[in-house]
Amino acid sequence: MRLDKFLANMGKGSRKEIRIFVKAGIVTIDGKPAKSFDQQIDPEKNIVKFQGELVQYKPFVYLMMNKPAGVLSATEDSHGKRTAVDLVGEEYSMYDLSPAGRLDLDTEGFLLLTNDGDYIHNVISPKKKCNKKYYARVSGKADADAAQKFENGLVLRDGTECQPAKLEFLSDSEIYVTIHEGKFHQVKKMSKAVGLEVEYLKRLSIGGVALDETLGPGEYRELTAEEKETIVHE
């Protein structure tokens, strides 16, 4: 990676400023003044210091985003639509972020973005049983035994088998659904199978970690180390 990109991404100034800092000799690499702003460094091996202070490189980042409706969670095939990754600022541009499980275009709430592929696998793999809890506003009339059907594991009209899930009623038109799989439109389809049409959907939590209520639509922050561990243990 180029030295100026690395330092800019680590918040040490604009690329232009960094050229000046390098010229002034305040950037050192492995104890020696950096030769030029565009020299290549390996952030995992080289010791880069800025004004004598170590510039700490994090290989992985884990972001909790409050995804707004109208934003795609996919990183590709966006056909000009805004994606969740587009909402993430310059400071994370060096990280190749992907969502750990998708949300539909009209679904809001907790979207986890990271460049850690193993972590994504653990969050989305049904084997890991990482629960995702949703709030939904619904219309229609639920089957009397809807919650039991969820608990038993529903079979959708197209034959898709869903693993046991949890359905809780807040009122006739508001439910919580907890699943640990991520099949396409799963909450909407499972709800439909018991007579409920989802009109609004929001993901509230992943692996027992709730979406930070202080995050407005489109806002994000890094997960704490504890949150990251709670969601899935390595």
Q: Is residue 185 a contact residue for ligand URA (CB under 6 A)?
A: yes
According to CB under 6 A, which one of 104, 181, 212, 222 is a site residue for ligand URA?
Answer: 104
What are φ and ψ of residue 176, in 5° steps?
Answer: -110, 140
SS3 110: strand
For residues 128 and 64, give the distance between their C-alpha atoms in angstroms, rounded to a whole number.
Answer: 20
Q: Supply the Cα-derived Rg of the chain in whole angstroms.
A: 22
Torsion sign over Cα 191, 197, 203, 204:
negative
Nearest Cα neighbor of 179 from 195, 158, 160 is: 160
Task: Report, as residue numbers or ranges, the catalytic residues.
Answer: 104
Residue 205 touching ligand URA (CB under 6 A):
no
Rounded least distance, CB 185 to ligand URA, Å:
4
Asked if 12 interacts with ligand URA (CB under 6 A), we say no
The minimum distance between CB 223 and ligand URA, in angstroms, equals: 20
Strands 166-171 and 108-114: unpaired
How many residues of this chain interact with ligand URA, rule: CB under 6 A? 8
Q: How far is CA 219 from CA 39, 64, 67, in A?
A: 34, 9, 8
SS3 139: strand
CA 222 to chain centre: 10
Assess 201 for contact with ligand URA (CB under 6 A).
Answer: yes
Q: Confirm or reject binding of residue 188 to ligand URA (CB under 6 A).
A: yes
The one segment of 113-121, 153-161, 167-175, 181-189 that binds ligand URA by CB under 6 A? 181-189
Our CB check for ligand URA shows the closer of 5 and 185 to be 185
For ligand URA, which residue of 34, 48, 65, 187 counts as binding (CB under 6 A)? 187
User: How far apart, in whole angstroms, are the C-alpha atoms of residue 198 and residue 192?
Assistant: 8
Say how far apart CA 83 and CA 103 lie, in whole Å.
Answer: 11
User: Per CB under 6 A, which region of 16-24, 140-148, 150-158, 183-191 contacts ligand URA?
Assistant: 183-191
Q: Shortest distance, CB of residue 99 to ligand URA, whole angstroms?
A: 11
**Nearest distance, CB of residue 52 and ligand URA, angstroms:** 48
**Binding of ligand URA by 107 (CB under 6 A):** yes
Question: Least CB distance from residue 182 to ligand URA, whole Å?
Answer: 7
Q: Which residues 6+ apart lie within 8 Å of 196 measured at CB?
A: 136, 138, 139, 140, 142, 146, 175
Residue with Cβ nearer ligand URA (107 or 115)? 107
103 forms part of the interface with ligand URA (CB under 6 A): yes
Residues interacting with ligand URA, by CB under 6 A? 103-104, 107, 185-188, 201
